[in-house]
Structure 1
Amino acid sequence: MPKNQGNILVVDDDEDILFAANMILSSHFNRVITQTDPNKALEEFLKINFDVVILDMNFQPGDTSGKEGISILKKIKKKYPDTLVIMNTAYGDIKIAVETMKEGASDFVVKPWEHEKFLATTMAVFELSQSRKKVKTLEHRQKLLSTDIDRSFGEMISTAKSMQPILKAMEKVAVTDANVLILGENGTGKELIARNIHNHSERKNEAFIKVDLGAISETLFESELFGHKKGAFTDARENRIGRFEAASGGTLFLDEIGNLSLPLQAKLLTVIQNKQVIPVGANTPVPIDIRLICATNKPIQELAENSSDELNSFRQDLLYRINTVELKLPPLRERKEDISPLLSYYLSVYGKKYDKEYLRIGKETEKSLKRYSWPGNIRELQHAVERAVIMSDGKSLKEADFLLKPVLKSNEQISNLNLEIREKEAIIKAMEKHHGNMTKVAKELGVGRTTLYRRMQKYDL
């Protein structure tokens, strides 16, 4: 019979009782710890998270008041509220044992106990402990999911040739448990791809948990992702599971992973490698079972080669872990064929939402929209259609209803162009200085050789 993955602590001043308890329980539970000193018993919690404590009522010779047992019970319930306690009492102390139920004890057993009764009581309380943990996990998972309930993630809409290899790869990888890295500019649909992979996977009936790593501060990173124990820091008023544990069995989507600092990358790598997390303030690791999908709008391959700059680099060993399969989404300006079906889709969605299902987009307006570069990609198109539907007074949407950004180069584009000119000049000067020795050129410019070759290709050097 397989053992339950539970930790049991038995506290009693009678060595014979401890020996008997260990004999009965050790064949049913993963770990059974016995302790004669109640104060030392509390120290055991610093090493192990106990599911159930079996606690004696009296520890001093001749004492039948139960005060010491109740005192230890209160300390356990205050500091470790998720641990359930069974009071171990002599026959004459049953009345006091019943009183301990009001102080938080889950049950009691009477000495001398029958082996079957003792085991049955312990098993029942352990199962109650596991049920409560599952409820807490589900409650926290629901909180994490609640922000997504009213959001519409739409459908995968694409007829563009450049998207077909991506969609085929997505279908192939979805049925596996492989880690996926999705690359692309903001607004290209990286989260939508991640959700579609999850929805076509074996984990589709479990949770899809999204974490925006760009919005989590370094100080809260471990607490948010790995969870924390009550009292681990000032605002830790209760035990809380992290996003990894909440997603266990399902999919964890780490958005903007390229924003992580090197120290946080190291912590993330450890969790992915070991498949377990240690909540802040805890000592016992919690096993996790997740499918990992990551996304970023940054040139992560270049960051992985750029180890000389700590602020703009990415660990290669972490990159190898997260990109078993890599999907790179093209921007909307490179998939013009998708503009018309996307316009039709969002016009249908917002036409129904705002009771304007009669609205249409004229041919000339559609031509103008297809000429536009859509720097904000699909997200910009979606918001433009919603605003146009809201503000329109006629039966047909005009180009003016969309309030598109001017096609002229913005200050940011001009600035980027100037940077590219300066970068090209710097490469040329370095090549002349080192007579074409690419190792020395790359070292002077502070980039990897692969990155240097990409830049040279970009500038036709």
Structure 2
Amino acid sequence: MKNILLVEDDLTYSRIVKTFLEKNGFTVQTAIKVKEAQQLFSNSKFDLIIADFRLPDGTGMELLQWSKSNYPQTQVILITHYSDIRIAIKAMKLGAFEYITKPINPDELLATVKESLSTQIPQVFSPEVAPDTSSSAQNSISKSSYVVGGSAEADKLEKHIQLVAPTDLSVLVLGETGTGKEFISRRIHDLSARKDGPFIAIDCGALPKELAGSELFGHVKGAFTGALDNKTGHFEMANGGTIFLDEIGNLGYEVQVQLLRAIQERTIRKIGGNKEIQIDVRIIAATNDNLISLAGDGSFREDLYHRLNEFTLSAIPLRNRKEDLEDFADQFLEESNERLGKIVKGFSPEVWEIFLGYDWPGNLRELRNIIKRAVLLTSGSYVEKESLPVDLYEPLSSNSGMRGSNQSFSGTTDLPSPKDYKSHWVEQEKELIQKVLMDTKFNKSKTARILNMDRKTLYSKMEKYGLD
């Protein structure tokens, strides 16, 4: 029997969800705080964590990052409101299996739980075990997943991809979170002479800082505590193919130096080793940061930026390519039908009207998740409005916590009590930082200027509130 840890500070809500999961054959333990959840791991093994994003002593994001560093085989599902949609999507990039929004639909919760527990996680961060980055689990974007689109913006992007793909130029892909930067990078690889070689996708933001060099370049036995054997790094695994470095701005300075040397010399040296290893790898990097600004304040090497930026592509936000919405929706509908064993044919006119009127802050990732959820909840041939999250067409209701007990678990809002002034102030500061980050598309330099604080202070507060 699978063991689930439910972390939710609304006790009534927690009891309802716990009872529901236990009736469906799961063992459930509960916690109300991040620290309490961490302590439970000392005595129990959990297959899955279901955590609310907002908790009294931290966030579900903090718990996610902790669990991925200490218990990488434990899946994580994040519960969130739609006001936290960008954060939820970032959580998936950091290793969360899925996010589900309040109010929780029981069918959606049960299907997501079962799917998460049937999915194996490649052990990426263990020092003594090399990750199987060539597996389908690690490289989740298949060749058939790419949608060109028919808009003028999509046509321009495709022409640039066709132009640069046959070359061996390093490419920098810019764009907001969820705009499909990995899809674009995989498209470049598939159209290049390296298409039969490996395509290794790495999220630099998810690499533990102390192990980033080892993950990318490998290490020799005994190089550091826990290095029980020789390890092959991602660059060596990608030999003859392409390596995709997402969130490149998150790499530490020391690793940036190693990366620059690898690009210039076409060789790598394992951590603790003294042997030069020849590599033949094309590098595609992606970011939603302003690397020029990061270079200006010394947190990103300018010479590395120029090495990576031999050719630039810009991923298009979904709100700016509504003409392509139908192409993406049809693709995601087909994927969801196959994944869930359904035969939903399409979307009602009312749903299309909602889709076209929504600004999609989470871009393609949000659209894919919405469609998968809607297909799950659809019993007829077409997706109807009732299968969509209410926040798509009633944005002001995102913090209501209610949607009718016959359709979903009802719960109270999880905002801090106004009586606790300090807690209330902290929550206001966190929400302000989060809002400015969203408005600046997570441009940290611009965010710091708007908030009138230095970057070091901003980074500290982002880490404190689980927004990094």
In the other structure, the counterpart of 1:188 is: 179
CA offset digits 1:364-384 (Å, max 9, x no partner): 210111110111101100010
- What amino acid sits opposite 1:395 in the alignment? S
Instruction: List aligned pairs for 1:393-432, cutoff 5 A.
Output: 393-403=379-389, 404-405=391-392, 406-408=394-396, 415-416=435-436
In the other structure, the counterpart of 1:201 is: 192
Once residues 341 and 211 of structure 1 are traced to their aligned partners in structure 2, the CA distance between those partners, rounded to angstroms, is: 27
Provide closer, same or farther for how the CA distance between residues 398 and 280 of structure 1 changes in structure 2, counting only shifts above 3 A: same
Once residues 258 and 175 of structure 2 are traced to their aligned partners in structure 1, the CA distance between those partners, rounded to angstroms, is: 25
In the other structure, the counterpart of 2:279 is: 288
In the other structure, the counterpart of 1:299 is: 290
Provide closer, same or farther for how the CA distance between residues 401 and 276 of structure 1 changes in structure 2, counting only shifts above 3 A: same
Alpha carbons 1:174, 1:197 under 8 Å: kept = yes
Task: Name the SS of the counterpart of 2:210 in structure 1.
Answer: coil
Q: 1:231 aligns with which of 197, 203, 222?
A: 222
Alpha carbons 1:372, 1:407 under 8 Å: kept = no
Alpha carbons 1:248, 1:288 under 8 Å: kept = yes
Provide closer, same or farther for how the CA distance between residues 251 and 322 of structure 1 changes in structure 2, counting only shifts above 3 A: same
Once residues 409 and 170 of structure 1 are traced to their aligned partners in structure 2, the CA distance between those partners, rounded to angstroms, is: 41
CA offset digits 1:131-157 (Å, max 9, x no partner): xxxxxxxxx988221253683541223
In the other structure, the counterpart of 1:376 is: 362
Task: Name the SS of the counterpart of 1:356 in structure 2.
Answer: coil
Q: 1:331 aligns with which of 293, 317, 339?
A: 317
Once residues 324 and 141 of structure 1 are traced to their aligned partners in structure 2, the CA distance between those partners, rounded to angstroms, is: 31
Once residues 275 and 333 of structure 1 are traced to their aligned partners in structure 2, the CA distance between those partners, rounded to angstroms, is: 40
Provide closer, same or farther for how the CA distance between residues 297 and 338 of structure 1 changes in structure 2, counting only shifts above 3 A: same
**Once the 2 structures are TM-superposed, how far is the Cα of residue 401 of structure 1 from its aligned partner?**
1.0
Tell me, yes or no, if structure 1 residue 143 matches structure 2 residue 163.
no
Alpha carbons 2:173, 2:287 under 8 Å: kept = yes
Alpha carbons 1:166, 1:327 under 8 Å: kept = yes
Provide closer, same or farther for how the CA distance between residues 397 and 176 of structure 1 changes in structure 2, counting only shifts above 3 A: same
**Once the 2 structures are TM-superposed, how far is the Cα of residue 331 of structure 1 from its aligned partner?**
0.7
In the other structure, the counterpart of 1:59 is: none
- What amino acid sits opposite 2:137 in the alignment? D
Higher mean C-alpha deviation, range 197-206 or range 217-226: 217-226
Tell me, yes or no, if structure 1 residue 161 matches structure 2 residue 147.
no
Once residues 183 and 196 of structure 1 are traced to their aligned partners in structure 2, the CA distance between those partners, rounded to angstroms, is: 15
Once residues 151 and 414 of structure 1 are traced to their aligned partners in structure 2, the CA distance between those partners, rounded to angstroms, is: 29
Provide closer, same or farther for how the CA distance between residues 427 and 331 of structure 1 changes in structure 2, counting only shifts above 3 A: closer
In the other structure, the counterpart of 1:254 is: 245
Provide closer, same or farther for how the CA distance between residues 362 and 255 of structure 1 changes in structure 2, counting only shifts above 3 A: same
Provide closer, same or farther for how the CA distance between residues 365 and 259 of structure 1 changes in structure 2, counting only shifts above 3 A: same
In the other structure, the counterpart of 1:321 is: 307
**Once the 2 structures are TM-superposed, how far is the Cα of residue 172 of structure 1 from its aligned partner?**
0.8
**Once the 2 structures are TM-superposed, how far is the Cα of residue 292 of structure 1 from its aligned partner?**
0.5
Task: Name the SS of the counterpart of 2:201 in structure 1.
Answer: strand
Task: Name the SS of the counterpart of 1:241 in structure 2.
Answer: coil
Once residues 141 and 385 of structure 2 are traced to their aligned partners in structure 1, the CA distance between those partners, rounded to angstroms, is: 26
Alpha carbons 1:141, 1:247 under 8 Å: kept = no
Provide closer, same or farther for how the CA distance between residues 162 and 273 of structure 1 changes in structure 2, counting only shifts above 3 A: same
CA offset digits 1:87-130 (Å, max 9, x no partner): xxxxxxxxxxxxxxxxxxxxxxxxxxxxxxxxxxxxxxxxxxxx
In the other structure, the counterpart of 1:340 is: 326
Alpha carbons 2:147, 2:328 under 8 Å: kept = no
CA offset digits 1:52-89 (Å, max 9, x no partner): xxxxxxxxxxxxxxxxxxxxxxxxxxxxxxxxxxxxxx
Which one has a bigger Cα radius of gyration? 1
TM-score scaled by structure 2? Answer: 0.56
Provide closer, same or farther for how the CA distance between residues 228 and 164 of structure 1 changes in structure 2, counting only shifts above 3 A: same
Tell me, yes or no, if structure 1 residue 277 matches structure 2 residue 287.
no
Q: 1:357 aligns with which of 335, 343, 351?
A: 343
TM-score scaled by structure 1? Answer: 0.56
- What amino acid sits opposite 1:385 in the alignment? I
Task: Name the SS of the counterpart of 1:182 in structure 2.
Answer: strand
CA RMSD of aligned residues (A): 3.1
- What amino acid sits opposite 2:381 in the alignment? K
More helix by share: 1
Once residues 419 and 196 of structure 1 are traced to their aligned partners in structure 2, the CA distance between those partners, rounded to angstroms, is: 29
Provide closer, same or farther for how the CA distance between residues 238 and 141 of structure 1 changes in structure 2, counting only shifts above 3 A: closer
Task: Name the SS of the counterpart of 1:343 in structure 2.
Answer: helix
Provide closer, same or farther for how the CA distance between residues 243 and 352 of structure 1 changes in structure 2, counting only shifts above 3 A: closer
Alpha carbons 1:369, 1:399 under 8 Å: kept = no
Equivalences, count: 285
Query: Please, which runs of 5 or more residues in structure 1 have no aligned partner?
Result: 1-139, 429-443, 448-461
Provide closer, same or farther for how the CA distance between residues 164 and 330 of structure 1 changes in structure 2, counting only shifts above 3 A: same
Task: Name the SS of the counterpart of 2:132 in structure 1.
Answer: helix
CA offset digits 1:403-424 (Å, max 9, x no partner): 144545985699429999xx99
**Once the 2 structures are TM-superposed, how far is the Cα of residue 393 of structure 1 from its aligned partner?**
2.2
Higher mean C-alpha deviation, range 380-389 or range 346-355: 346-355
Once residues 314 and 324 of structure 1 are traced to their aligned partners in structure 2, the CA distance between those partners, rounded to angstroms, is: 17
- What amino acid sits opposite 1:145 in the alignment? S
Instruction: List aligned pairs for 1:441-452, cutoff 5 A.
Output: none
Task: Name the SS of the counterpart of 1:380 in structure 2.
Answer: helix
Tell me, yes or no, if structure 1 residue 220 matches structure 2 residue 211.
yes
